[in-house]
Amino acid sequence: MSSRTVIRHGLVITASDEIHADVLVEDGRIAALATPHSHDWTADRVIDATGKYVIPGGVDAHTHMELPFGGTHASDTFATGTRAAAWGGTTTIVDFAVQSVGHTLREGLDAWHAKAEGNCAIDYAFHMIVSDVNDETLKEMDLLVEEGVTSFKQFMAYPGVFYSDDGQILRAMQRAAGNGGLIMMHAENGIAIDVLVQQALARGETDPRYHGEVRKALLEAEATHRAIRLAQVAGAPLYVVHVSASEAVAELTRARDEGLNVFGETCPQYLFLSADNLAEPDFEGAKYVCSTPLRPREHQAALWRGLRTNDLQVVSTDHCPFCFTGQKDLGRGDFSKIPNGLPGVENRMDLLHQAVVDGRISRRRWIEIACATPARMFGLYPKKGTIAPGADADIVIYDPHAEQVMSAATHHMNVDYSAYEGKRVTGRVETVLSRGEPVIDQREYTGRAGHGVFTPRSTCQYLN
Ligand code: URP
Ligand code: ZN
Ligand code: ZN
Ligand code: ZN
């Protein structure tokens, strides 16, 4: 049976346009846009979006549901994390499957499929974390690209866990240059950082704020520079994840001015929080431990500027929640044992809308950095990331005037604190469709685990 929904009288915002239009949804896809009152569409359901924005569902290209880290697991499952994402207006996540050292990419990918399948409220896709580059792994990369897992994260940090040395990085980049894969880099000099960690602990500096002090901006910039040059040598494009240091943005800017296919992502925590949070007393700083770390406030200007100049193209969350009680706790007396990561999959669209309200970015740029470009970067466009005939009907009705206060008491992420506790923002998700089906309906959850499906991706659609 075919089903038809009409969303009428809203302001449709995409990365390229803002138009007052009605949207016809048929069988899970966008069928047409038309001037209000110019058509005679019939529908099973009419959503009145008068005074509201009609925007593409958010595409969060960086999440870690159930990630094993530091002896524990990220506290959101695919079920809870995708439900929370929907509450926050995100309708697609790209999560990171993990290859553990000594295992194949296939084993890691199968494990992630098993965690996600049948549990997701919204559509999902996978990147692959490559922790063990060898001849077999390199061949497997080609197979994964064919299966729609077209991006690979490597780590210059975390020696002994996810770390790759420069030779391993170069080899994976050479492979990606051949098979169309996109290398995503965690750019921090982990070897040097580990020395500084040991020296800090030996001095008795155990508090969370030292996490930010040892993971120096210069060591992010150095690794960013090295990754860029390795990619240049390999002839491969590069996407640097969770950029936080102004010096790292400068490296990206320089490379892009040279015409290289180098891209950068930042996250709301680097735009809205700072090293001051890491210094909160009574171990509260542990709530803000992630890597790259929150930086002194001065770095924020470079990130906002990068988003305006397109030297940074994407804002993702790096959603990787750990409860304060029982998980962040593991690092009392030793900051290096605090599991790294912040919750945020539910907050991203609203925080970036606040940036619109504050005049930092335009409405169209909001949609570009949160929906359209992540979809293009990771081969999901125009199925995801826009409102156009033929696209999946992943649509958010957004109330730009509603006020809300972010809080763990009201959020839907499975974590016992909010990184933005008490923050007032203007704008709120009202209704969310995923492939035409209401997941959030006028602020009621109407979705179901298993509605969301694995979404294979093409290769990067954002190259120069
Ligand atoms: O602190 C973070 N970012 N945790 C998640 C793992 C990663 O490096 O992205
Ligand atoms: Zn009318
Ligand atoms: Zn990382
Ligand atoms: Zn991450």
> Nearest C-alpha to atom 8 of ligand 1 is from which residue?
291
Measured in angstroms, how far is the CA atom of residue 164 from the centroid of ligand 3? 13
Given ligand 1 and candidates 75, 290, 295, which is best to mutate, with the most ligand atoms within 8 Å of its CB?
A: 290
Ligand 1 atom at shortest distance from the alpha carbon of 340: 1
Shortest CA distance to 316 belongs to which of 296, 287, 344?
Answer: 344
- Point out the ligand 1 atom lying closest to the alpha carbon of residue 62: 9
Mutate which of 242, 295, 338 for ligand 1? The one with the most ligand atoms within 8 Å of its CB, which is 242
CB atoms within 10 A of CB 168: 18
- Determine how β-strand 424-434 pairs with β-strand 437-441: antiparallel
Closest ligand to 74 CA? 1
Distance between Cα 154 and ligand 3 center (Å)? 8
Which residue has the CA at smallest separation from atom 3 of ligand 1?
291
β partners of residue 399: 428
> 240-261 b/e with 16+ CB inside 10 Å = b?
bbbbbbbbbbbbbbebbeeebb
* Beta carbons within 8 Å of 57's beta carbon, 6+ residues apart: 89, 90, 91, 92, 122, 371, 384, 394, 395, 396, 432, 433, 434
**In the chain, what is the greatest distance between 2 CA atoms, to the nearest angstrom?**
74
DSSP 294-354: P--GGGHHHHHHHHHHTSS-EE---B----TTTTGGGGTT-GGGSPP-B--TTTHHHHHHH
Atom of ligand 1 nearest to the CA of 291: 1
pLDDT, position 217 = 98
pLDDT-above-70 percentage for the chain? 100
Ligand 1 atom with the shortest distance to the CA of 186: 8
Give residue for tokens 């929150």.
Answer: 294
| Residue 289 CA, closest ligand 1 atom number | 1
Give the integer Cα–Cα distance in Å for 28 and 40. 20
What residues are neighbours of ligand 4 (ion), with CB under 5 Å? 318
Q: How far is the CA of 9 from the centre of ligand 2 (A)?
A: 7
Ligand 3: distance of its center to the CA of 293 in Å? Answer: 10
Residue nearest to atom 9 of ligand 1 (CA): 318
- Crossing angle, helix 217-234 and helix 246-257, to 10 degrees? 20
Looking at the chain, the whole-number percentage of residues with pLDDT higher than 90 is 99
Kindly list the protein residues whose Cβ atom lies closer than 6 A to any atom of ligand 1. 64, 186, 242, 290-291, 318, 320, 340-341
Mean pLDDT of 346-364: 98
Tens-place pLDDT, residues 78-112: 999 999 999 999 999 999 999 999 999 999 999 99
Per the rule left: phi > 0, alpha: psi between -120 and 50, beta: everything else, 262 is beta
The per-residue DSSP string of 177-199 comes to: HHH--EEEEE---HHHHHHHHHH
In order of their start, the domains of the chain are 1-464 (3.20.20.140)
Tell me the pLDDT tens digit for each residue of 23-41: 999 999 999 999 999 999 9
Work out the average pLDDT over 165-176: 98
Cα(8) to centroid(ligand 4), Å: 38
Ligand number nearest CA of 69 is: 1
Q: Which residues of 202-222 are buried (b: 16+ CB within 10 A; e: fewer)?
A: eeeeebbbbbbbbbbbebbbb
| pLDDT one-digit tens code per residue, 308-352 | 999 999 999 999 999 999 999 999 999 999 999 999 999 999 999
H-helix segments, 74-189: 78-87, 105-116, 135-146, 166-179
| Rounded mean pLDDT, 276-300 | 98
Going from the Cα of 349 to the center of ligand 1, the distance in angstroms, rounded, reads 20
Atom 4 (ligand 1): residue with closest C-alpha? 341
Q: What is the pTM of this model?
A: 0.98
* CB-based burial label for 167 (10 Å; 0-12, 13-18, 19+): exposed
Q: Taking 80 as the threshold, does the pLDDT of residue 1 lie above it?
A: no
Nearest CA to ligand 1 atom 7: 291
User: In this structure, what is the dihedral angle of CA atoms 90, 400, 391, 393, given to the nearest 10 degrees?
Assistant: 70
Mean pLDDT (whole number) for 49-76: 97
Q: Which residue has the tokens 């009428």?
A: 8
**Residue 310 phi/psi, 5° resolution?**
65, 25
How far does the centroid of ligand 4 lie from the alpha carbon of residue 140, in Å? 22
Say yes or no to pLDDT of 2 above 80. no
Span 116-156, pLDDT tens digits: 999 999 999 999 999 999 999 999 999 999 999 999 999 99
Q: For residue 159, is pLDDT > 90?
A: yes
In one letter, which amino acid is 160?
G
Atom of ligand 1 nearest to the CA of 153: 9
Residue type, 335: F
Residues recorded for the chain = 464
Query: What value does the mean pLDDT take over residues 146-168?
Result: 97
Q: In the structure, what pLDDT confidence band is assigned to residue 221 with cuts at 50, 70 and 90?
A: very high
Mean pLDDT of the chain: 98
Instruction: Using the mean position of ligand 2's atoms as its centre, give its distance from the Cα of residue 35 in Å.
Output: 10
Ion ligand 3: protein residues whose beta carbon lies under 5 Å: 186
Across 256-280, average pLDDT: 98
